Every structure is written in structure tokens, then in C-alpha cells.
Structure 1
Amino acid sequence: MTTASEKFHIVLIKPSKYDDDGYVIRFWKGVLPSNTLNVLHGLTEDVRERRVFGALPIEVTTFDESAEKVPIPKIIRWAKQPGTRLLVCLVGVQTNQFPRALDMAREFKTAGIAVIIGGFHTSGTINMLGVNEPDIQELFREGISVVSGEVEGKWEGILADFLHGELKPLYSFAQDLQSLVDIGHAPLPRASSKTMEHFAYPSFATADTSRGCPFSCSFCTIINVQGRKMRERSPASIAEMMRRNYLDHGLSFYFFTDDNFARKKLWRETFEAIIKLREEGIDVTFMMQVDLARKPKDFVALAARAGCTQVFIGMESVNPQNLAAEGKTQNKVEEYRSIIKEWHDAGVLVHAGYIIGLPWDSKQQVGEDMRFLKDEVGPDQASFFMLTPLPGSHDHREMKKRGDWMDPDFNKRDSFHATIEHPLMSAQEWTEAYENAWKSFYSKENMIKSLSRWTDHPRNYWNLMAIFFWYKNAALIEKQHPMVAGFFRLKDRTTRRPGYAVESIPAHYWKRAKEIAALLLTWVKFLKEMEEVWLQTRKKNETEERWLEQIHRTQSGIFQALRIGEIQRLYNNAKDSLPEGVRNLLAPLDDLSSRILYSRSDLKRFLKQWEHLRQSIQELRLVESETTRKWLEEIHQIQNNIRLGDRIHEWHESYARLRESLPARPRLGLLKYDAINDRIVYSRQELQRIWSETLSNLRRFRLWSIRPFQLSRAVARDFSLTTSFASTFREFSKLGLHGQARGSSAC
């Protein structure tokens, strides 16, 4: 019988993982909430609300370690409070999180606290390999209860076993993949307000509307844990959840973690239920995962009407041989472009999932495939993963059977470490190919290309801008995969992986101070890069468009007559292979080919400098090596075929007329000419030139070369630009700036 002083306290923890230096990966603000944590929270709250255990008070506390510090000493103190029965549940544990989860579980067990662990690692391992695997046996030896499979309909029984002191070593619910739990009317995921305070977007929520996938990709664990038979929540319950969360908690954007929304039987009914919500004024939007196979009729159009703003597509590769090797036969490379166009035409962003390290990949081939992905396929964003054999996949089981080498450290099974031997690449080459893929796709040029598609669609434009901030910061600055990263990395000195020394306070904080200083400097450079991206892609007003058209009409004829775009393209292609001396002499080409000419004096100065550059090329032809001379000869032939005649006089007259129709030059600042694409864009180029020259003069102690008036104007203009960018970003953030990623809902 329950006494008045008794309490049942359930602590749900989604573990993080260790970095390569042994520190727990945790951020000041997270981005992706854990759907599994929300699922278990919803199930536990359902038990409490139905009073399954009578008058026994139930308290539920959640922690997502990617954004919250798990206060292990405090939890141990909770367990020691009189009358408290405390159970720790480590939920949604993936393979790369298993070492961290096991270390936490040991601490709790040492303090006499019961621990349950579940997730895709335990479920996949037991389903595909059995319970005799060393990691599963280690859990049994430690007295940690293991869950394999989903716990809907089973959760209250597990909790009852704990209260009766009868927790079993193993709860296995996923052996028969044809008879998995019906989730049609199961309790829905429920976010924790306490945990969501640690995330950057408080209006972000996750939910799974279905589970399973009918396809049989060999690298996938989903089909061996959640099955190939689609199981679904009822459309009415999904709509009611979204209505309640919107009205009670302000949750307006959902990431539906279904592995394949397009294969739901009730996809139409689900979309229609959400459309009705939106018609009521419940302004919800969502992102979902779909495949590249042919969609049901009206699927894309209905998805857009229902508020779908983004789709994640498991593209995996643009190489048909790779797709065949991994059983991804439903993907047809020749159809990629048309599929993406269909989503774009509906106003939906496309996010491609891409695997680096499939059997036919090489470092060179990956680079070529990236160019094809960007230029021919054209997704708006991409997530890259290194091929990783995860327990629960067909690939992993077959590799174990063959005795192939796999890195024994589960902490590295995170899709951004090389953990197997690749047939065509060394581990270093593979890692470089992976890192170069991120650099290539999230280059300034490709971000500009992607954002330019959505200039007339503010919600998508700013959504994508926010994603670029998140993804590039995570992958290229924080050096973490965006799907585990947030904003501003935190490192707890004392929470370090066993085997790594805990540094002294002075040593740790001195190292962190240097890391943070370097990070802040990198962020400033990154912000300026994103300002450049914004300047070149932002929506311009009618007056600006008219001014730019007038300038372009006049200057385009000059640049085409001088064939500057052709010369610039040749120079760009050869720049890296040219001797340093040649590059220095030809450096003015970049400035001249991007310069905006406002007046006759600008034109006169430009033509004089262009003639000087032409003469430099002539002289270099006579002294450089044969390879360089051959390249210079191409440029010489282009220049030699130019016949200007009376054009220079005509150009001067054109600029006399043009100047009268333009505003004062300061209002036209921050412009540059893109000679290769024959267009005018806004740019930070002039500001960047001033800063570079100033820093160079400071390093050389040439203070007399610094021009105070020019520098003060640059400071004022840069400050104005940054505040304008920030305020515009903030204004449009209300339209819905949200991220996305793959997720799972297994316990």
C-alpha cells in the first residue's frame, strides 16, 4: 500500500557522446530535440495521468545531454530522499552514444540506483546478432536492464516491475518484425518545457507519425528495428497533438521523424487533417523525410498545402554503381533533378542526405560527384555521412561474419569518423573527401546559388539562411556533425571519458580561453562571409533594380567588348597553378573585372589600368616557362582580336548621360561587377580590401600608410551593414527558422 510520503521519480536521459579529446559534447543551445526522449516522456506522462499506480505520486524529469548538463550527483541525492523510488532510463541510445551511456549507468549503479537502457544500439544488436554480443553482456554484468524494441503498450509493465523490485535483465519486444506494436492510438510524444529551454528554437517540436520503411537498404538499421511494414498514428490524434501544442506551448514547426513519410498508407488523411488545422488559424509547418521513388498522385501538392516547408531525401549517392551496391535500387540518378524541381515548384526546400565512402567512391570521384550534385542536381542543402556499419544493419552483420576490421570504439560510429577499411581510399583520404564535401557544398558560391532560388520566397530564403548558419558553423567551425551540434560548445572540465586525465583548473581554463578566442575570431569572419552571401542574394527594391539595370546596360557592353569575362574565367581556372610572381603581376585582374564604373573619370582610369595589365601579359609571354607561356598566349590571342574603333568615344558619351540619372555614389556603395556571369551584385569586396590593407600595414608597422578617414568610413559602413543584416534576419525569423535531421523513436 502506498504511503503519503512515497514518490516515484522517473529520470529520462538522452545521452550525448564524447569528442576525440574525451569531453562530453554539449552546447549552450541545442538545435534538434530528441524525439525518442519526447516519446518516452509522453508514455510516462500517460501512465501518471491514468493513475496506473493509484495514488502514488509520479515525477518525471527529462535531460537531453547535448544541451543540458546531466547533474549526476544531484540525481543520486534525489534517490536518497526518504520515500523516493527513483529509476534512471537512458533512452534513444545510438551506437556512438553507447560508451557515454554505459559510463553514466555505472555511476548510477554504483550509487544503488536502478538503470534501464534502450535505443537503436541495443535493439539493433540484439535483433541482428543476439544477446551474446560483448556490449550486451557487459550491461547484464553491470546489472543494467536492457530494452530491445519499442515500449508502447509495455511501458507501464516495465515500471511496475521496477516498483515490485522485479526488473528483468532483458525486455525484448522486436524479434517478430511482422508483429510489432500498433501505434495507431498510442500516447503521443510530449516535449518537456524544462528541456526545451536549452534549445535555440522554442517553437520547434518533433513527432513520429509512422514507423518502418518498405525498402531494404543494406546500411539501414530502421528496417531491422522498426520493420518494413508501415505502422501509423491516427491522423486525428496527430492533428489534436499539433493543436494542443500550438495553443498551450507555442510549438509551430515539426520535424516528423518518420523514416519514410511517403510510404504511409494514411498520408493523404494526415495532410488533410493538418490542412484543416491551418484553415482554423493554427499556423503550423513541418519538415519530413521521403524517398526518391515515385510519389503517390497529389503527394507533393498536398504536402505543400499542409505546410511542408522542407523535405529530407535519402539521396545517398549520384553514382549508380554505389546505389546498386547498397541496395538503393529505388533511387534513379537520372530522375533526381526532376524530383527536386517538383518540390521546388511547390515551394518546398530540398535537403539531400549523402553518404561518402560507398564502395565506388574515391577521393577524386567524390570531388567530381560534388560538382554534379551542386550543378546538375541542385538540392538546397545537404548532409554528409561517412559510411558506418551500425549494429542492426545488414552491412554490419555481414562484415562481422567475414571478420572484416571495424573500429572497436563505438564512440567513433557517428558517421564522421572512418571506422572501416575502404577499398579505394586510405582513412586519411576518406576523411579529406568527407571534409571537402562539406566545404564544397557550403562554399560561399554554392550558398549564393541556393539562396538565389528563393529571393521571392521570404520564408524559404530566411529558413535556408538560418540553416546555412547552423550547418556551416557545425561542420566547418565546431567540427561536429550538424545533427549533433548546437551553438557554442561547452566543455565540463571534470566530465571526461575514463582513461583521459582531468586537467588542472589553470590548464583547462587557459586552453579554453584560447579556444574561445580563436572561435570568436572565426565567427567574425564567418559573419562577414554570410553578410556577403546576403548582399548578393537579398531582394532589391524597384529603385535599386532600376539603378543597377542602368549601370549594367552601360558597363556590360564595355566588358563584353574587352572580353573581360572570358579572361577572368581563364585566370580563375589557372590561378592555382601559376608561379607566385605571375599571380602577383596579374593580381589587378580580380579588382578590374569586378569594378563598377560610375563616371567618365572611372572609365578613363579603368581603361588606363586595363592597358597596363595587357602590356604586363605581353611582357610575361617572353620570359615565363612554356606551360605558363601557353596559358598567357590564350589570353594574348583574345586581347589581340579585340577591335574597339570608335567605341571608347561612345562609352564616354554614355557615361556622361548615365551619371545624370544616378544618385550620389555613397548610395550605390557595396557594388561589384561579376564579369563571368555578366551581372552586378552587392558585395563587401571593397570593405574587405580596406580591412586587408589596414591589417597588412599594421603587421608591417607601416602606420603612415593607414588612411584614418577611409578607415573610419569603413568602420561606420561595416557596422551599419552588420546591424542591417542582423535586424533583417531577426525580423524574418518570425517566419519560421527551423532545422532538420534524421531521427528515431525507438526506446
Structure 2
Amino acid sequence: MREYSESLQALLPPQARQYRTLRIVFIKPSQYDDDGYVIRFWKGVLPSNTLSVLRGLTEDVERRGVLGDIAIRLDTFDEVAQKVPVRQIMRWSRQSDTKLVVCLVGVQTPQFPRALDFGKQFRAHGIDVIVGGFHTSGTVNMLGDQDPDIQELYRQSIVVVAGEVEGHWGEILTDVLNGQLKPLYSFADDLKNLVDIADAPLPVTSPKTMKHFARPNFGTVETSRGCPFSCSFCTIINVQGRMMRERSPEAIAELIRRNYRERGINFYFLTDDNFARKKLWRETFEAIITLRGEGINITFMMQVDLARKPKDFVRLAAEAGCSQVFVGLESVNPENLKSQGKGQNKVEEYVNAIHEWHEAGVVVHAAYIIGLPFDTKEQVGRDIQYLTEVIQPDQASFFMLTPLPGSEDHREMRARGEWMDPDLNKRDSFHATTTHPHMTAEEWTAAYQGAWRAFYSKENMVNILARWRHNPWMYWNLINVYLWYKNAALIEKQHPMVAGFFRLKDRLARRPGYAIDPIPVHLWKRTKEVCRLFVAWARFIKEMEEIWLQTRPRSEREIRFFDEAQRIQGEIWQTLRIPEWQKAYSDAKTALPAKVRALLDPFEELPSKMLLSRHDLNTFLERWGDLQSKIQALHRSWMWGEGPAKKWLEHLYALHRDTWQGIKVREWQEVYSEIQGQPPSRLDRLYARYDALSNRIVCSRQDLRRFWGRTREHLSGLRFWQIQFSGLAVTCFKELLLTTAFARSLFASIRRKSARMPQP
């Protein structure tokens, strides 16, 4: 393994000495959407680690004087959240004493078309362009530089970098200044002899770039590179190798300490492909634990495999501040796993592995591939149900199996001449780009989208959050994640890992070959899109309010009070045989005349009323007695003849008569007077309801939804006189109160996170 080293001084010829400044523009390209627009958001979520790594390498080159007395100026742009100022960059290139180079970095396969278009623009103005990332590295390593993509870069005089540039970056920058750039810099020919990163310069985050992201206190760092496994769909092992190479624990600790004190970074995504296979995992965790002893309380997420962990791995990870692990489940079908060389995954061990993380207080994020060889549309649905009900990860990201250049799958498919979509922009793991043996492209896409809908359904999110309500910090962290993920996948229609918040569309930033819409046309299209987006957001917020109502954390005293009230109300409901009454009335509604339904409908919501006090009990019994009187009066004055309606009414009357005689009012009143615990909040009083079928108290928007449903029916039927305007005012007030309460709780959780963030 080669050690990291570069000469301290570069011999610069006269051509280079005409420059006083080397200006390096790092651009992390985005990709195009299906309509040809560049995908960009108002706020990004996951910042690019490559930008930070290259910034650190460049500052190291300047610090060591590799380029002599030539100053280096850096500009970084992450296009997923920043507009790249192409014209301004071109103006920079015209400064006489400045040498400008544009580096298109971290380019993955779906971003390659956008990177190529950038390169053509800059080369047309004589600007040097360098492109690197997993696409060029994987292509050169697995297919050679005769591949059409690499040849196209050569034709455009765009410099290609394959592999890692630690130990070589100063050499490349020297060639930039000397005007001696080579067509190809390949540093990964021997995957068993890659550069040792133990003492490589540490990444440096750009505060200017991070202002465009939702969490400026978010940092990324790779503590190691490589992965010992041999999954056939993976490109990592063919670019970074299968031998683990690591930064020293001391270097990681120094990076965290510096970022915490200078920039307030207290959350990290450790981008190692497989942290669990590091040799120095224990030392790294212990170094971070030591930092926590200094008051540097960071949290982090990391990627690990599902193979058996070393002893104490999970415990030490949690002690170090790990809040989430990203695990490659890939499938719950053993045949699928075997077909992809994923032998380290044992489906029968999934539940215990995830349970171990849960016991340590760590959220589990599962990566899952749709479209493996043994998948069918129906089987995918069953597998996702098994995933949610049995495996029970807390978060999931779904991907469509995609042959990426640099993977064994891609090389073998190409050798066999199998069809692959030639548009690399679609090789993003959420388009069908190959022929599947059991599904059409439409079925495959439907199965993929169905997986997102099933996992992020209201029911599954309720179940997950209910498991974490004992941990408010993790609970609210998951709420924030669900807001991000469901919005991205099911509303913005982008994969969450490349998405942000609120999609932006630059009219002029469109893929070559697509027409540029006139301004009025573009504005009209965007207006309709934004209106639809806001409507979808409103529905989504209401769904999240419902989830919050059902799962929100409560104190022990509140829980004790609810349990006792629930027990008493269950006894009352059984005595009054309310579940039977509900079923009988539901069956009778269709047979009863409209006038009779109008008399009884107000009582339909009565069985769901929650009784939390003696006053609630007395009010309920009074209304229940009124119902008895109405049914009795209807029974006596029935005038609609014999038939099913009369039989149902007689059944309702008999039920009410028999149960009313057996009530124990005084006993119930005394019990309510003795309930211990903390009385429920005003929020619970407004939105709590009793579910007679499950015999439990739930907080829900169900009554509000029922009211809006009836109101819509009246409006669509032009029955304006049937709209309850007093109820409309009350319902609007309840909606406003609920939204305000949810927003306050959400922002309070964000403020609590920010309060843990030090001031730089």
C-alpha cells in the first residue's frame, strides 16, 4: 500500500510564473429530470463529501508551498442546492494574472451527462476542465479508456481522473499551471496497492456551501475506504478496493474537535462503505467517546453490514453517539441475495441484528433493492410487507437494480450484449434501465413506487414512531426524517438521497435537445406545479399531524391516567353494549328513511367520545338517555310500514332498552373521582376519541376528517343548507389549533438540536 506523499516544491517553468493566482472551481454536478431540467432545490440535505475532501487536499497543497508563491483561491458549488454561475466563472477566466481550472468532481453515472455538458461549455471558452468521480474511475478500471464515455471526454479535451488523488493532487495542479495536463490520470490500476490515507489531509467543509443546506451543522467524513465483500452490483470495490484503508483515530478526533469549535458541526455522516469492517473501529469509537468527555457531544450515522459484529461494536457505537445505521438488507429473499454475491446477509438473522441496534437506542435505515432476479411485482409487495411487519427497520431507501459502470454486473451484461438504457441520466437507481426476467418496465416501476408507499404509509409510520415514543430525541429525529423522505419520494418524485426541500426549475438550465419554454409558458407551468405541490404538502402535513396525535410522547403520569380512564371506559362501553349498537346502527343506516337518519346521525359520533372526568361521564349519559328517548319515540310512531327498516329499529330499541336498565351511574361516578395521574392536556381533550372496537383511547383527526367529508358531499350536491356553519367554525379552529401545536412541537425539537450546537 503506497504511503501518502508529495514533493514540497514543484519546479514551475516560466509559463506558470506569469500567474499570481490559481483559481480552482469545484463543481459537484446534479442531474437532469425526465423533462430535461436540472434537479436543484432551495435547500439541500446531504452535502457532498468529495467537495470537502478536495478542499482539504487543496489547502494542504497551498500550506506546504507545493506551487511556490502562487496563491490558491477555491470556489465550491454543490449543484443540488446551488446555482452554478457559469457566466461568472467564464469572466474569472479572463483575469490576466489568474489561471482558472474547473473540476467536475464526485461525478456518478447519472450525473455524467450534466458534467459533460458543463465541460463542453467551459472548454468552448478555453477553460481547462478536469472530471473525476465514480463514473470515470469505475469505467476506466473495469472497461479501459477506450470506452465511448471516456473517448468523448478526450475528444472534448476534458481531462479524466480515475481513482483517488491523495498523493497526486499537487502534481495535477502543477500540470494545470504548466499547461501540461495529461488526457488521463489513473491512480487505481492496482487495487491492492492504493494510497494509504492514514495521514492524508483531512476534509474541510465550506461554510459558504453549507448555507445552502437545511442543516449547516452537518458534516461528512470517510474514516475508511474499501469493503471486503464482493457484491456484484457494487462499484465501491472496483474503485476503492477490497482492502480496508483507514484514517487514524487521532486524525478523526482532531477533525471532529476542529469542526465543532470552529464551525459548530455536531452531526456527521460517516461515509465509509462499511464501517463495521474497519480494523481500528474500536479505537475510533473510543476516540469519539473521549471527545464526548470533553463536552464535544456529536452524533453520527454510519454504514455497516449485517454480518456478525465484533464484540462490543454496537455498544461502543451507541456510546460514541451513533444515532442511525445504514444497512444493506437488499432483499428478504435468500435466492436474490445469493444471485448478487451477498452471502454475508442471512435473512434469518435480520430480526436479531436490528433488535440489537434498537436495544442500544440506534435507528436502523435499510437499503433495499427492487428488481433482483427472483422478484415479481406481487412478490415485491409481499416482501415489503414482511419487511415492515417482521424485520421492522425504522427507515428504508429503495433502489431499482441498475448496472453501473464499475460494477461486475455492468461488465458481464455488456459482454453478453444485454440491453441497457443508453441514457446514463437514467442510471440513478430509480429508473428501469434493463430488461427484467419477470416484470415489464411498467410493472417494475410500479413495484418500486409501491414499496415507497407501503413503507411510508401512515400505518407503518405510526407503528415505528410508537416504538420510539419513549425516546423523545429519536422520536422527533424520525419525524423530521419522514417529512424529508416522504416529501422527496412521493411528492417531489425524487430519491431522498439526492433531493432537498422545494424543487427549483431554472428555465434556461435545460438539457440540450429540449426546447426552452417562453417565459409566460414556463411561469404558467411552474405556477400549476407549485399549486399542486402546496396542496400535496397540506395533505401531507395533516397526515403527519394525525401520526403525531397517535404517537406523541407522554409523561408517565399522563400514561397512567390514560390507562385508568381507558379501563373504566371499556367497562362502561361493555355494559352499554356500545360496539353492538354501533354495528346495528351502521347496518340499519341504509334501510332507514332520510328523516330518521337525520334524527339519529348526531349520535353516530357519541360512542367515540372520550370520558376523562365525572363531568364527561354525566354529559355522555345525558346524551345517551336522549338517544334512548328518540329511538323509543320513533318506535312508537313508526309510519313507514313493515320491512328491514322497522326490524333494525326494533333491534336498536331492544339493545338500548336492555342496556339502559343495567347501568351503574353512581359507581362509575365514584371511580372517575378517584382516577390518579396527570389529567390530559387540552390537545388530548379536543382530539382524543374512544375506539370501541379495539377498546382503547386514541388521539386522531378522524372527527375532523368526517366533518370535512360530509361538508364536501353537501357542496358537491349543492345542498348548502345542510352545511353546519357553526360546526365549520369550530372545525376550522380545531384545525388551526392542531397545526399550531404540531408546528410548535416540531420547531421546539429543532431548537433543542440547535441548542446543542456550539457557537463557532
Q: With structure 2 as the length reference, what TM-score do the two structures score? A: 0.87
Aligned-residue offset at 1:509: 0.4
In the alignment, which residue of structure 1 is the partner of 2:740? Answer: 723
In the alignment, which residue of structure 2 is the partner of 1:352? Answer: 366
Instruction: Give matches, 1:103-182, under 5 Å.
Output: 103-182=117-196
Q: Deviations over 1:223-273 (max 9, x none)?
A: 111111000000000000000000000000000000000000000000010
Aligned-residue offset at 1:286: 0.6
Q: Contact 1:311/1:350 (CA < 8 Å) preserved in 2?
A: yes
Among candidates 64, 71, 80, match of residue 57 of structure 1 = 71
Change (3 A) 1:560 1:149: farther
Among candidates 540, 543, 552, match of residue 529 of structure 1 = 543
Aligned-residue offset at 1:162: 1.1
Matched, 1:311 2:325: yes
Q: Distance in 1 between matches of 2:711 and 2:376?
A: 43
Aligned-residue offset at 1:602: 3.5
Q: Secondary structure of the equivalent of 1:28? A: strand
Q: Secondary structure of the equivalent of 2:497? A: coil
Q: Deviations over 1:286-312 (max 9, x none)?
A: 100000000000000000110101000
Q: Which amino acid aligns with 1:684?
A: R
Q: Deviations over 1:600-625 (max 9, x none)?
A: 6636867998999xx9xxxxxx99xx
Change (3 A) 1:154 1:710: same
Aligned-residue offset at 1:549: 2.6
In the alignment, which residue of structure 2 is the partner of 1:464? Answer: 478
Matched, 1:46 2:60: yes
Q: Distance in 1 between matches of 2:422 and 2:154?
A: 20
Q: What are structure 2's unaligned runs of at least 5 residues?
A: 1-13, 636-642, 645-651, 756-760
Q: Distance in 1 between matches of 2:457 and 2:571?
A: 30
Aligned-residue offset at 1:644: 11
Q: Deviations over 1:14-43 (max 9, x none)?
A: 000000000000000000001111111111
In the alignment, which residue of structure 1 is the partner of 2:620? Answer: 602
Q: Distance in 2 between matches of 1:54 and 1:605?
A: 89
Q: Contact 1:462/1:737 (CA < 8 Å) preserved in 2?
A: no
Q: Distance in 1 between matches of 2:307 and 2:680?
A: 55
Q: Contact 1:361/1:424 (CA < 8 Å) preserved in 2?
A: yes
540-549 vs 234-243, greater mean Cα deviation? 540-549
Change (3 A) 1:146 1:494: same
Q: Which amino acid aligns with 1:540?
A: R
Instruction: Give matches, 1:688-699, under 5 Å.
Output: 688-699=705-716
In the alignment, which residue of structure 2 is the partner of 1:398? Answer: 412
Q: With structure 1 as the length reference, what TM-score do the two structures score? A: 0.89
In the alignment, which residue of structure 2 is the partner of 1:679? Answer: 696
In the alignment, which residue of structure 2 is the partner of 1:742? Answer: none
In the alignment, which residue of structure 2 is the partner of 1:294? Answer: 308
Q: Which amino acid aligns with 1:231?
A: R
Q: Contact 2:400/2:448 (CA < 8 Å) preserved in 1?
A: yes
Among candidates 236, 244, 247, match of residue 230 of structure 1 = 244
In the alignment, which residue of structure 2 is the partner of 1:94? Answer: 108
Matched, 1:708 2:725: yes
Aligned residues: CA RMSD:
3.5
Instruction: Give matches, 1:196-275, under 5 Å.
Output: 196-275=210-289
Matched, 1:496 2:513: no
Aligned-residue offset at 1:47: 1.1
Q: Deviations over 1:615-651 (max 9, x none)?
A: 9xxxxxx99xxxxxxxxxxxxxxx9xx9997686236
Among candidates 426, 430, 437, match of residue 416 of structure 1 = 430
Compare relative contact order (CA 8 Å, sep 6+) and give the higher one, 1 or 2: 1
Among candidates 340, 353, 360, match of residue 326 of structure 1 = 340
Matched, 1:732 2:749: yes
Q: Contact 2:244/2:277 (CA < 8 Å) preserved in 1?
A: yes
Aligned-residue offset at 1:50: 1.9
Q: Contact 1:219/1:390 (CA < 8 Å) preserved in 2?
A: yes
Aligned-residue offset at 1:9: 0.3
Q: Secondary structure of the equivalent of 1:406? A: coil
In the alignment, which residue of structure 1 is the partner of 2:206? Answer: 192
Aligned-residue offset at 1:559: 5.4
Q: Contact 1:311/1:349 (CA < 8 Å) preserved in 2?
A: yes
Q: Which amino acid aligns with 2:152?
A: E
Q: Deviations over 1:633-671 (max 9, x none)?
A: xxxxxx9xx999768623655554466578899671201
Q: Which amino acid aligns with 2:710?
A: E
In the alignment, which residue of structure 1 is the partner of 2:529? Answer: 515
556-565 vs 677-686, greater mean Cα deviation? 556-565
In the alignment, which residue of structure 1 is the partner of 2:395? Answer: 381
Q: Contact 2:19/2:99 (CA < 8 Å) preserved in 1?
A: no
In the alignment, which residue of structure 1 is the partner of 2:640? Answer: none
Q: Distance in 2 between matches of 1:581 and 1:210?
A: 71
Among candidates 686, 703, 711, match of residue 669 of structure 1 = 686
Q: Distance in 1 between matches of 2:351 and 2:668?
A: 43
Aligned-residue offset at 1:689: 2.5
Q: Contact 1:13/1:90 (CA < 8 Å) preserved in 2?
A: yes
Aligned-residue offset at 1:674: 4.0
Aligned-residue offset at 1:720: 2.1
Aligned-residue offset at 1:54: 1.4
Q: Distance in 1 between matches of 2:478 and 2:100?
A: 43
Q: Which amino acid aligns with 2:348?
A: E
In the alignment, which residue of structure 1 is the partner of 2:460? Answer: 446
Q: Distance in 2 between matches of 1:210 and 1:448?
A: 36
Aligned-residue offset at 1:144: 0.5
Q: Contact 1:363/1:433 (CA < 8 Å) preserved in 2?
A: yes
Q: Secondary structure of the equivalent of 2:498? A: coil
Aligned-residue offset at 1:327: 0.9
Q: Which amino acid aligns with 1:672?
A: R
Change (3 A) 1:439 1:653: farther
Q: Distance in 2 between matches of 1:95 and 1:12?
A: 18
Q: Which amino acid aligns with 2:433?
A: T
Change (3 A) 1:731 1:401: same
Q: Contact 1:310/1:351 (CA < 8 Å) preserved in 2?
A: yes
Q: Secondary structure of the equivalent of 1:687? A: helix
Q: Contact 2:157/2:183 (CA < 8 Å) preserved in 1?
A: yes
Q: What are structure 1's unaligned runs of at least 5 residues?
A: 616-621, 624-638, 739-747
In the alignment, which residue of structure 1 is the partner of 2:663? Answer: 650
Q: Deviations over 1:461-519 (max 9, x none)?
A: 11111000000000000000000100000000001001100000000001101111111
Report the number of matched residues: 712
Q: Distance in 1 between matches of 2:106 and 2:473?
A: 32
Q: Distance in 2 between matches of 1:681 and 1:115?
A: 60
Q: Distance in 2 between matches of 1:430 and 1:504?
A: 36
Matched, 1:427 2:448: no
Q: Distance in 1 between matches of 2:397 and 2:508?
A: 32
Q: Distance in 2 between matches of 1:565 and 1:123?
A: 66
Q: Contact 1:454/1:460 (CA < 8 Å) preserved in 2?
A: yes
Q: Contact 2:575/2:659 (CA < 8 Å) preserved in 1?
A: no
Q: Secondary structure of the equivalent of 1:650? A: coil
Among candidates 361, 365, 378, match of residue 375 of structure 2 = 361
Q: Distance in 2 between matches of 1:71 and 1:90?
A: 14
Q: Deviations over 1:162-200 (max 9, x none)?
A: 111110111111121100111001011111111101000
Q: Secondary structure of the equivalent of 1:599? A: helix
Q: Which amino acid aligns with 1:439?
A: R
Change (3 A) 1:57 1:542: same
Q: Which amino acid aligns with 2:620?
A: D
Q: Secondary structure of the equivalent of 1:60? A: strand
Percent sequence identity is 59
Aligned-residue offset at 1:411: 0.4
Q: Deviations over 1:73-129 (max 9, x none)?
A: 110111011211000000000000001110111000001101010111111111111
Q: Which amino acid aligns with 2:201?
A: P
Q: Which amino acid aligns with 1:311?
A: V
Q: Contact 2:282/2:316 (CA < 8 Å) preserved in 1?
A: yes
Q: Secondary structure of the equivalent of 2:553? A: coil
